[in-house]
Amino acid sequence: MGFLQPLLLLGLLGVAVPIAVHLVNRKKAVRRAFPAIWLLAASKRQTAPASKLKQRLLLAARILTFLALPLAFAQPFLSGEMGGASSRVDRLPSSVVIVLDDSASMSWGRDGSAERFAAAVDAAASSISDLRSWDEVSLIVASSPPQLLTGDLSSSHGTVRTALEDYMPRFGGGDLAGALEQAKAMHASSKLPQHRTIVLTDRTQSQWAAPALAEALRGAGVVELPELVEGEGSGNLTVESLTVQPADDGAAGRYRFEAQVRSSGNTGAAETEVRLFDGTTPLGVSKVALPASGRATAVFQLKVEGNELHDIRAEVSEQVGMTADNSRHLAFQPGRALRVLLVNGDARSVTYADELFFLEHALSAGDGASGALEAVSVGAESLAGQPLDGFDLVVLANLARLSKDDHRRLLAFVQAGHGLLTTVGNNAVPEELNAAFGTLLPRPFRSVKVLCEAADPDANLKAVRISSIDRGHPVFRIFAAPGGQTISSALVFRYLTLEPAATEGAKTLASFSDGAPALVERSEGAGRVAMLATTVDLEWNDLAIRTAYLPLMRRLASYLARQSSERRVDAEVGAEQVIDAAALTPERLTVVAPSGGRSVLEGPEGRYAFRPAEAGLYRVLVSVAGTETAADSLSFAANAPAAESNLSMATPDAVAAMVARSGEGVAGAAAEGGSSSRRDLWPWLLFGALLLVYAESFLQVRRRVWKRLGERLQAARS
C-alpha cells in the first residue's frame, strides 16, 4: 500500500483527542451515608453495565473517526495485479495511443547502439500485436515538437506498425508532456469506452521533473509504462563544448580548437581519444585523461585556409552511454572580415581629436576568429587613388567636397550591392554637399542647427537626444532589449537639418528629441546609402563615449554591407532557432539540412523560425532579385540538447506516484501477462468516517428518548 500525500498522516496524532476527552469526562464514585444501601447496590447492578458499554462504544467511534479522516486525506492506494482476461482493460474496446520517446537520452546503449530506442520500438510493436480487432490505435512521437505519425485513431493496426518501422529517430529534445496532451485530445475524440496511453520512455530525471508532466498525465486514461531495458546504467561520455579562437602563436590562418569532454556515472578512462573532423575529413587526434565524473579539454592547433564555411566536429572514439552527444558540431568560417574603407575629412595630429579615432576602434573591436570588421583609413585627398575593390562599406566622415570621378566610382560601388555611410562635421556646407554628393545622400541637407557648445553648463537642458528609433529595424533591434535605452542618454549639441520634401525610398531610422531626422537610409541599386546628421567624434555630440556607440556603429556597418549583424548561435536539435535575415532583405530563405533536405521559410520582417531535426551543419541560402546565394553568416550547427546528457533516472516511487495522480494509472508492465494497477482506498475511508459520525450521533441519544419513541410506535400500532 502507498500514499499520495504521506505528510497528511501526521493527522493521526489527533487520535489522542477523544481518548483525553474520555478520561477527563469519566465519572468517579462518591461515597455517601445512606441507610438503604441495598437500594443503591441494586441500582448499580442494573445501570452500570449499560453505561460502560455506551461510553466504550462512543470512544471507539471517535477514535476510528480520527483515524479514518487523516488516512483518507493521505489518499492511500493498493498496487495489485490486473488479470488479463478479467480486467476492465481487456474486457472493453479501447482507444490506444502509443507515445514513443525519441529524445537524445533514448540513444543510450551498452554497445554504442541505441539500445533504449530499439527496446521502445519492440515494445510498441508488441503492444500493437496484442490489440483486438475492435481496438483503435495511434502513434505519437514525443520529440520537440511532438509528431503525430499516424493521424487519427484507426483500427488499421498494420498501417500504424508500418509507420513505426519506417520512423527514423531525431535524438534531439523531448516534449513528453506535449505528446501526452495530444494523446488526451485523441482520447477525447474517441467514442470507445476505454482509454489507454502506453508511454515508452527511459524515465530520465530531465523528463519527469518537467512541471507540466503531472497535469498532462491527468485524464490520459490508463497509463502504462513498460520497462524498456533491465539494469539500465547512467554512465555517459559527452562532448560538452567545441570552441575556436586564433592560435597561440598568432600566425595568420592558424586557429586553436578546444573540445571539452565530460564523463558521468562510472565512466572514465586513463586515456580518452578525441578526434576532430572537417565534415568527414580527419583533422587530428588528441588523447586526454578523463576521470570518472570529471572533465578534460582536448586542444587542436590547426591551419585553416580560405574563407569557406566549415562543419567542424569533435568526437569521442569510445562509444559509451548516450551516442547522440558523443560528438559536437561547430559552424566555422575563417574567411575575411567585413572590410570598411574610412575616408577621413578632418584628420588631426592629436589621435583622440581625430575625426575617425572612436569609429576606428569601434569597428575594429571583436574576435578575429568570428570574422571581425576590418577598418582601413585614408585621408580625403587619397580617395581618388584608392581602389574600392575588396571593400564592403565606405564611410565618408566629414568631407567638404567630392570630385565627379569619385562620385561616379562610389555610385557604381553602391549600385553593385555595397554600402555607403556619410557623416558630417565642421567641414559640412549644405549647398556644396548636396551638389557634390547628389544621389549618394538619402535626403538633401538644409542647414546647420547649433543648440549649444559642449562646454556649456546648461548643455544638458539645451541639447537634444536620440529619442525615437525604429526598434524593429536590424540596426536598432538590440536596443529594444533591457539596457538599450542608453542610446537616448547621448547629448547632441548641433546637427544638420534636412530638406522637408520627402525623397522616394528614404526612411528615417532615428530622430532627435525635437523631431529632426538623425539617421536616414535609402536603397540605391542593389546597395544602400545612409547618412548620420551629426559627427562620429565628440565635436557635435558625446555619443562616442556612450555604451551604445560600439553596437550602433558595428550593426550599422553590417546592415549597410548586407551582412547579418547577429552573432552566430548554434542550435539544439528540436529547439526553435530564429534566423534574422532582415539585413539581407531576402525574397525567400532556404535552409539546407545536413542530410540534404531543403526547407523554404517565410517570416515577418526578415525573421524566420526553424526547428532543426538532426545534428550537423545547416546552410542558409537567400534569394535576392531572383538569385539564390549562400548566406554563410546565417548558417549554424545543431547539436543534441545539453539537458539530455543527464541520464540520472527518476525514482520508481516518484514515477508511480505521478502516474497514480492521473486518476487511473498503470505503473509498469506485468511479468505474467497482467499489469500492476492502482486501487484507491481513500473513498472507502471517507465513507467509513461518515458512518462513524452517524454512529456517534446515534449513541449520544439518551435512553429515555428511545423509550418515548418506542411508546409512540406502540401506540400508533394499537
* Three cell numbers written together for 30: 462518591
Asked if 477 and 434 sit in the same domain, the reply is: yes
Domain CATH for 542:
3.40.50.880
pLDDT of residue 664: 55
pLDDT of residue 242: 93
The secondary structure element, H or E, covering residue 461 is helix 459-462
C-alpha 495/C-alpha 426 separation (Å) is 10
pLDDT of residue 32: 60
Is 575 within the bounds of a domain?
yes
Q: Which of 277, 307, 334 is the last residue of a domain?
A: 334
- CB–CB of 331/304 below 8 Å? no
Q: 163 to each of 94, 128, 613, how far by Cα in Å?
A: 20, 12, 18
Is 199 within the bounds of a domain?
yes
Q: What is the CA radius of gyration of the chain?
A: 39
Amino acid at 435: A
Asked if 407 and 552 sit in the same domain, the reply is: yes
- The H helix count followed by the E strand count for the chain is 16, 36
Cα distance between the two ends of the chain: 56
Beta strands in 101-224 (DSSP E): 108-109, 136-141, 147-148, 194-200, 222-224
Is 259 within the bounds of a domain?
yes
Residue among 584, 580, 622 at smallest CA distance from 604: 580
What sign does the CA torsion over 376, 382, 383, 387 have? negative
Range of the domain at 148: 84-233+647-673
Domain CATH for 245:
2.60.40.10
**Is residue 196 classed as helix, strand or coil in its secondary structure?**
strand
Is 101 within the bounds of a domain?
yes
pLDDT of residue 537: 94
Quote the crossing angle between the two packed helices 357-364 and 549-560, to the nearest 10°.
Answer: 70
Asked if 546 and 523 sit in the same domain, the reply is: yes
Asked if 65 and 52 sit in the same domain, the reply is: yes
Asked if 151 and 256 sit in the same domain, the reply is: no
Q: 490 to each of 197, 428, 548, how far by Cα in Å?
A: 61, 22, 9
The answer for residues whose C-beta is within 8 angstroms of residue 328's C-beta and 6 or more apart is 239, 240, 241, 242, 259, 313, 314, 315, 639
Asked if 373 and 455 sit in the same domain, the reply is: yes
C-alpha 370/C-alpha 454 separation (Å) is 38
pLDDT of residue 89: 47
Taking 3-state DSSP, the helix, strand and coil percentages for the chain, each rounded to the nearest 5, stand at: 35, 30, 35
Is 297 within the bounds of a domain?
yes
Residue among 298, 288, 323 at smallest CA distance from 242: 298
Number of domains forming the structure of the chain: 5
* Three cell numbers written together for 698: 446515534
Domain CATH for 614:
2.60.40
Residue among 135, 201, 113, 157 at smallest CA distance from 669: 201
Is 637 within the bounds of a domain?
yes
* Three cell numbers written together for 14: 489527533
Q: What angle do CA 479, 480, 481 make, to 5 degrees?
A: 90
pLDDT of residue 267: 60
- 10-residue block means of pLDDT along the chain (718 residues)? 67 72 62 58 55 72 76 69 44 88 85 81 92 93 90 91 91 89 91 91 79 82 78 73 81 86 72 92 91 88 86 87 89 81 91 90 66 82 91 94 93 93 93 92 94 92 93 84 79 94 89 95 92 95 93 91 70 88 83 94 79 93 84 90 82 75 50 47 70 68 62 76
Q: Which residues pair with 580 in a beta bridge?
A: 607
Asked if 492 and 373 sit in the same domain, the reply is: yes
- CB–CB of 611/576 below 8 Å? yes
Q: Which residues pair with 497 in a beta bridge?
A: 447
C-alpha 387/C-alpha 194 separation (Å) is 79
User: For 313, phi and psi rounded to 5 degrees?
Assistant: -135, 130
**Pairing status of strand 136-141 against strand 147-148:** antiparallel
Is 534 within the bounds of a domain?
yes
Domain CATH for 655:
3.40.50.410
Asked if 91 and 205 sit in the same domain, the reply is: yes
* Three cell numbers written together for 367: 574576435
C-alpha 413/C-alpha 388 separation (Å) is 7
Taking the mean position of all CA atoms in its chain, how far away is CA 26? Answer: 67
pLDDT of residue 250: 63
Asked if 603 and 627 sit in the same domain, the reply is: yes
Is 143 within the bounds of a domain?
yes
Q: Which of 509, 538, 560 is the last residue of a domain?
A: 560
The secondary structure element, H or E, covering residue 119 is helix 115-129
- CB–CB of 642/53 below 8 Å? no
pLDDT of residue 81: 47
C-alpha 576/C-alpha 310 separation (Å) is 23
C-alpha 635/C-alpha 332 separation (Å) is 9
Asked if 386 and 498 sit in the same domain, the reply is: yes
Q: Is the pTM of this model over 0.75?
A: no
pLDDT of residue 678: 56
Asked if 459 and 374 sit in the same domain, the reply is: yes
pLDDT of residue 139: 95
Asked if 380 and 453 sit in the same domain, the reply is: yes
Residue among 40, 20, 21 at smallest CA distance from 30: 40
